[in-house]
Amino acid sequence: MLDFSPEEKPLILQVGGDDPKALADCARIAEDWDYDGINLNVGCPSNRVQSGNFGACLMAEPERVARAVEAMRAASSLPVSVKHRIGIDDRDRYEDMESFVRTVAAAGCQYFSVHARKAWLQGLDPKQNRTVPPLRYEDVHRLKQSMPELFIEINGGFLNLDQAENQLGDVDAVMIGRAAYDTPYLFAEADARFYHWPEPPRDRAQWRRPCSLTSTPGLAEG
Residue numbers annotated as active site: 44
- What's the order of all strands across the beta sheet hosting 111-115? 12-15, 37-42, 80-85, 111-115, 151-155, 173-175
Distances (CA, A) of 91 to 86, 96, 104, 211: 9, 6, 17, 49
Distances (CA, A) of 66 to 129, 142, 157, 171: 25, 22, 28, 23
CA distance 149 to 167: 18
